[in-house]
Amino acid sequence: MKADPTAQAALLELQAQDSMLAQLQHRKLNLAEHAAITELEVQVKELDGQRVELDTEVSDLTREQKKADAEVELVRNRRTRDEERLNSGAITNPKDLESLQHELVALERRIGTLEDAELEVMEKLEDAQRRLGAVEADLHSLKADLREKVTTRDAAVTVIDEQVKDAQAERASSTEWIPDDLLAVYDKVRAQYGGLGAAALRARRCEGCRLEINGADLRELGSAPDDEVLRCPECSRILVRTPESGL
């Protein structure tokens, strides 16, 4: 392939811009905030699951306490009515009086049992509410940390995206000096060899593979016309001659 030496030299500038774009992309994908955000998201999800479970537990215990309160109140009301009947003097039959007194004793025992159960439920509810409050506080703190990391990440991405935009503009300017056929070969080689399609020849060494070219190959390269597009005999990348090539 033939190409003007100026166009060949422009490949080095184009390669520098493509390498910069690759570095920016790598930096964008590997920002420290990405890992921190992922870890925080996992923690938030796990803690939010605990919050849902505790919220359900609190709701269940609240219903249970209301039920216990209602049962105690119902028996207390029954005891109050019986006491009022007993104290009213309306019941004169000894058997009825004895029966009512027995019922009052039974109601008192029932109230004691229900109040113990009510107290147990209340203690469980208070403990669940305490644990829910602690989880909600931790969750609030984690979400604040997550928002901060996302903000920092987004700011870093914005800076990188601006740098990418500038580098792409410079790349577009550089390609104006390179013929389409040479650019096509460069892009193909760059795709094959890890993003490095063109390299300078300096001090008899290819800066793509970093290997020194042997004497025979070097003489062959040196005898090629200036407009001949060279390829490195070691790595097959486009080899661009420089004043320091050593040919």
What does the mean pLDDT of the chain come to?
A: 93
Sign of CA dihedral 117, 118, 121, 123: negative
pLDDT at residue 82, rounded to an integer: 86
99-128 tens-digit pLDDT: 988 999 999 999 999 999 999 999 999 999
Task: Indicate if the pLDDT at residue 247 is higher than 90.
Answer: no
Burial 18-46 (b: 16+ CB within 10 A, else e): bebbeebeeebeebebeebbeebeebbee
Name the percent of the chain lying above pLDDT 70. 100
**Structure token digits, residue 129:** 């509410």
Q: How confident is the model at residue 226 (pLDDT cuts 50, 70, 90)?
A: very high
Sheet holding 238-241, edge to edge: 205-206, 198-202, 238-241, 230-231
CA 217 – CA 223 distance, rounded (Å): 10
150-195 tens-digit pLDDT: 999 999 999 999 999 999 999 998 898 899 999 999 999 999 999 9
Q: Give the distance from CA 75 to its chain's centroid.
A: 56
Q: How confident is the model at residue 20 (pLDDT cuts 50, 70, 90)?
A: very high
Q: Which helix (H) or strand (E) holds 45?
A: helix 32-88
pLDDT at residue 96, rounded to an integer: 81
Cα Dmax for the chain: 137
Average pLDDT over residues 199-222: 92
Q: Is the pTM of this model over 0.75?
A: no
Q: How confident is the model at residue 90 (pLDDT cuts 50, 70, 90)?
A: confident
